[in-house]
Amino acid sequence: MPYARTRLGRFFYEERGKLPTPEAAAVFMLHGFLFDGRQWKNQVGPVSEVTRTVVFDGPGHGKTEDPPRFTLEDHAEALLDAMNELDVKKAILVGLSWGGMISMRFALAHPERAAGLILLDTSAHAESIVNRAKYRGLLSLHRRVGVPMQLYNRAVAPLLFGPRTLRDKPDLVEESGRNGLGFSREGVARAGLAVVVKRGDISKQIPRITAPTLVMCGTDDRSTVPDESRFIVNNIPRARMGWVEDAGHMSALEEPEKVNRELVPFIRGLMP
């Protein structure tokens, strides 16, 4: 299996497609918490027809190794390690939720390597004190004994999926829950601490992002509410907004065709 060596351990990845020209950027696809690269199953085909496309499993998720304790800034530097390992000079970063948080931090730290950003259902702010306490408790429970599907369906799924998806696509919700709860519990707990509990605020820094940016958000997102995306698009210079109707937090899975109608042309427009 293909792995890239990083400071947080080996990242599992899959890649498809090729650069249309030597000067073109590759696409790196970064998923959300409790998901893995399969989150992008509906996007990787169309995107890989445009350019080389690399889909990663994040630390402690999917087939990637359990990380040491880390911050989101550490994760951004590990992404640079993977980029160098794969001999990628520039990348367009496509990140949903956790993936978007990493993408913004990478673009701030390494602007010369970020050719573009596509930020889905994500936030530049820290979590509220109330949410940090709630999620710390859930992570502690999951680390010790695991979260049962009944609790997942009651407390987690409504934060990840919109009402239409919960009603009309129960198989997608069930499959996603079983996949996420099947990851390494220690790896998920360490990632959750970085993503939710200890996440810092970069809201005052994002005006320094220079990469062309597309922001997308499900209109029914209850996890990172639409106002978070409005803030990002209003504070990154020349960013533009795309709304995904009838989707919640996992917009790329819930309404893939609507996402692809915005995502693929934006990536194509960044090709030389």
Domains of the chain in start order, with CATH, are 3-129+187-269 (3.40.50.1820)
pLDDT at 135: 87
Q: Indicate whether 246 pLDDT > 90.
A: yes
| Whole-number Å distance between alpha carbons of 109 and 142 | 32
Q: Indicate whether 212 pLDDT > 90.
A: yes
Alpha helices in the chain (DSSP H): 44-48, 72-85, 98-109, 129-144, 149-151, 157-160, 163-168, 170-181, 185-192, 226-235, 251-254, 256-269
Q: Are 40 and 252 in contact (CB under 8 A)?
A: yes
Give 3-26 pLDDT, tens digit per residue: 999 999 999 999 999 999 999 999
pLDDT at 141: 87
pLDDT at 138: 86
Return the percentage of the chain with pLDDT > 70, whole number. 100
Give 94-107 pLDDT, tens digit per residue: 999 999 999 999 99
Q: Which residues does residue 260 pair with via DSSP β-bridges, in sequence order?
A: none
Q: Which residues does residue 95 pair with via DSSP β-bridges, in sequence order?
A: 30, 119
